[in-house]
Structure 1
Amino acid sequence: MPIPAPNLYPPFNIVRLSHVDFAVTDLTASRAFYVDTLGLQVTDESDAAIYLRAMEERGHHCLVLRKADAAHAGALSFKVFDEDQLDRAHDWFAGRGHAVRWVERPYQGRTLATHDCFGMPIEFYFRMDRLPPIHQSYALYRGVKPLRIDHFNVFSPDVDKAVGFYNEIGFRVTEYTEDEESKRLWAAWTHRKGGVHDIAFTNGLGPRLHHTAFWVPTPLNIIDLLDLMSTTGYVANIERGPGRHGISNAFFLYILDPDGHRIEIYCSDYQTVDPDLEAIKWDLKDPQRQTLWGAPAPRSWFELGSVFDGVEPVASGLGASPIIAP
């Protein structure tokens, strides 16, 4: 099935991805991982939640950790261009039968809560509290020196349907993987902000959150993080990498937090601002698709994901599979 033509005039204007909520079972352990090891900055914390931002971010948070009895992912959040876009989004989702409600979120203005075509919770806002810049406060840089949140990747039971839905609200495909036999999409990378992706879709049991990615300055920061994790009790949390993706050309590392939420450390992809930029197609069986150097991903990378609270994932009808490491 061909990818849809870019929708350059969507019903409302999404600027970029913004933040994600993780329910975690031990805030102390999660704080040690995200703050002391990765290097995210605490902007507020209590016995119930910790708010974090990366070094280049002016908004109050890009990640919220909430204490819970069981780990899961909360809503994926996106920033829109202005207040009017929130009303446009409300009417668009409501007009298509999606549940919509205005919710109160700390440090944010009006926030719209709804869901996508698979019931995955998504939220939209315009205003978030601004904090003083810290990108030149070099004494604060530690861990992998995370600069900003970069993208989400979600398991989808039907990638063609996901791409069609998000295309309607303005996400443009940059790269995609097609199963040559069925001509269906196995994965797709879509963006709003001008990088390779704000949200990507991977075939599998879903909707589930596959990973959240943070952009870092250089590949050497990833090497430093590996040395740190391997000598501070986190060697078992290193899942895949380091390496360079064929898709996106980015340097990467995948790690798991104490509750199994997957984090990608990411840098060096390319700019995709031009509205007429052609999407790049990859064959599912191309060994350089996953990793330019040819190394396949482990089985856990295709099977493990964070469930969304209250959302029952369903199996994909596409049985095709890429190359998987033994």
Structure 2
Amino acid sequence: MPVPAPVLAPPFHVVRLGHVVLTVRDLGAAKAFWADTLGLQVTEETGTRLYLRAMEERGHHCVVLERGEAPAARHLGFKVFSEEDLDRAHAHFRDRGLAAAFVEEPYQGRTLRTVDPLGVPLEFYFRMEKLPAVHQTYALYRGVKPLRIDHVNCFSDDVDASVAFYNELGFRVTEYTENEDRSRLWAAWMHRKGGVHDMAFTHGIGPRLHHVAFWVSHPMNIIDLLDLMATTGYVASIERGPGRHGISNAFFLYVRDPDGHRIEIYCSDYQTIDPDHEPIRWDLRDPQRQTLWGAPAPRSWFEEGTPFAGTPARQPSYAASPIVAG
């Protein structure tokens, strides 16, 4: 299955993934995990919402945790290059027959809310309230010392359709996996900022959020987090890793928050900014695809994810058999 040719002049310009909005049942338990354990900085706390940012970020938030009755992913937020790009985005989505409207969001400027064709809820914004830099205020560093939000990965019931849509928006494929007969995409990693991915898709019941990832400076940050979680009551929240992905070359760890949201801690992928960068193909049954050292992922990796609020998940468009641990 050929990967679509990259669109180097998209209808509007997305800079990067900016934030995610997640529903949690208990803001106190969420704060103990996301802030006190992972180490994200609390920038605002209300009775219904918790705003967080990572250490290198100047924007007000990269994660919004909203109190609700059941865990869900409410929006994936992307920063665009200019205010004019918001108007171009609005016209593009309306021309595609997708609902698109401007909404008011705290600490953000004009925010365009829409959905992709498979039902993933999206936000696009240009302005966000800026905060003083803290990346050299080392007394604030704790937990895994997260530096910035890096990417999201979503389960998609039709990865080919997901890739086609985001390809139109200028997201470029860096690595991909085909199904057994090479007729369909099983997974794909797509970027805007020049890393391996801002948005990725994995074959499965979808759309659902698979994980949100944060960049750290060194694998030892991950080891420190493991020691912390193992001695503060979170050992059962460690799902997978540490390890090194074949795809992306990233050193990784996957953990689950108290509501089951999957979080990746991530470092050491590679630069993909060149416009003629060629995607890397992986075979679905290659044991080094999931982990360079050969260890397969647990079954929960392929089956469990966070539903998108208001979007029913569907069975995948074809059957596939990745390597599963145990």
TM-score range, shorter chain: over 0.9
The answer for the alignment partner of 1:101 in structure 2 is 101
Aligned 1:250-269 pairs, distance under 5 A: 250-269=250-269
* Deviation by residue 1:252-291 (Cα, 9 ceiling, x = unmatched): 0000000000000000000111011000000000000000
* Deviation by residue 1:84-110 (Cα, 9 ceiling, x = unmatched): 000000000001100011111000000
* Deviation by residue 1:207-235 (Cα, 9 ceiling, x = unmatched): 00000000011000000000000110000
The answer for the alignment partner of 2:219 in structure 1 is 219
Post-superposition shift, 1:11?
0.3
The answer for the alignment partner of 1:305 in structure 2 is 305
Post-superposition shift, 1:321?
1.8
Post-superposition shift, 1:119?
1.2
> In the aligned structure 2, how far is the partner of 1:120 from the partner of 1:143?
31
* Deviation by residue 1:111-153 (Cα, 9 ceiling, x = unmatched): 0000001011001000000111000000000000000000000
Post-superposition shift, 1:180?
3.4
Aligned 1:158-307 pairs, distance under 5 A: 158-307=158-307
> In the aligned structure 2, how far is the partner of 1:180 from the partner of 1:45?
48
> In the aligned structure 2, how far is the partner of 1:72 from the partner of 1:13?
28
The answer for the alignment partner of 1:2 in structure 2 is 2
Aligned 1:56-205 pairs, distance under 5 A: 56-205=56-205
> In the aligned structure 2, how far is the partner of 1:65 from the partner of 1:223?
26
8 Å contact from structure 2 (residues 180, 320) kept in 1 = no
Structure 2 letter corresponding to 1:302? F
Post-superposition shift, 1:182?
4.5
Post-superposition shift, 1:70?
1.1
Aligned 1:7-22 pairs, distance under 5 A: 7-22=7-22
> In the aligned structure 2, how far is the partner of 1:165 from the partner of 1:69?
32
Structure 1 letter corresponding to 2:95? G
> In the aligned structure 2, how far is the partner of 1:189 from the partner of 1:48?
34
> In the aligned structure 2, how far is the partner of 1:202 from the partner of 1:30?
26
> In the aligned structure 1, how far is the partner of 2:278 from the partner of 2:269?
16
* Deviation by residue 1:185-218 (Cα, 9 ceiling, x = unmatched): 1000000000000000000000000000000110
Q: What are structure 2's unaligned runs of at least 5 residues? A: none
Structure 2 letter corresponding to 1:299? R
> In the aligned structure 2, how far is the partner of 1:321 from the partner of 1:72?
27
Structure 1 letter corresponding to 2:216? V
Structure 1 letter corresponding to 2:262? R
> After TM superposition, what 4+ stretches of structure 1 lie above 2 angstroms from structure 2?
none
> In the aligned structure 2, how far is the partner of 1:161 from the partner of 1:317?
10
Q: Secondary structure at the match of 1:285?
A: coil
Structure 2 letter corresponding to 1:197? H
